[in-house]
Amino acid sequence: MNDIIQYGFLIIVGILAGVINTLAGGGSLLTLPVLIFLGLPPNVANATNRIGIAFQALIGTAGYRSKGVSNFPFNIYLGISALIGSLIGAQIAVDIKGETFNKLLAIIMLVVVAVIVFKPKASSLQLPERLTGKYLFYAIIGYF
């Protein structure tokens, strides 16, 4: 495939994935297979995809903060937890053989699709923010 066509395809897929992530999440289900299809090894494609996700998270956080929405220091705790988990996960992903990584990636992607498709609709209940105690602990573990 011509390099210009590949770059154009990546830009279009990236924009589409950004829209999907903004509306519902799960844009990686589109970008990750495309990166692998275009020739990146699966673990490199996954790492490359994570860079985009990190930038989206930072920009989203900055956008919310500019509108006066902030849960400081809750978001710092989650960020540190996610950073530590990401570093450990990246090391594990690099150490896994390509074929095993592909199988694990396929299973994880199927689970994510199932969660997105079958998750119950959000109710209109106005629940209070739960940013301390056991909820903070569960959030830190989840983000790790």
Which residues neighbour 87 within 8 Å (Cβ) at sequence distance 6 or greater?
none
pTM given for the model? 0.69
Q: Closest Cα to residue 38, out of 19, 13, 18, 20?
A: 13
Which residues neighbour 89 within 8 Å (Cβ) at sequence distance 6 or greater?
none
What count of other Cβ atoms lies within 10 Å of the Cβ of residue 42?
A: 22
Give me the tens of pLDDT residue by residue for the chain, a chain 144 residues long.
688 999 999 999 989 988 888 777 788 888 988 998 888 888 788 888 888 888 887 888 888 889 988 888 888 898 899 889 988 987 887 788 778 888 888 898 888 888 878 877 766 566 667 778 888 899 899 889
DSSP codes joined into one string, 37-94: HTT--HHHHHHHHHHHHHHHHHHHHHHHHHTT---TTHHHHHHHHHHHHHHHHHHHHH
Amino acid at 139: A
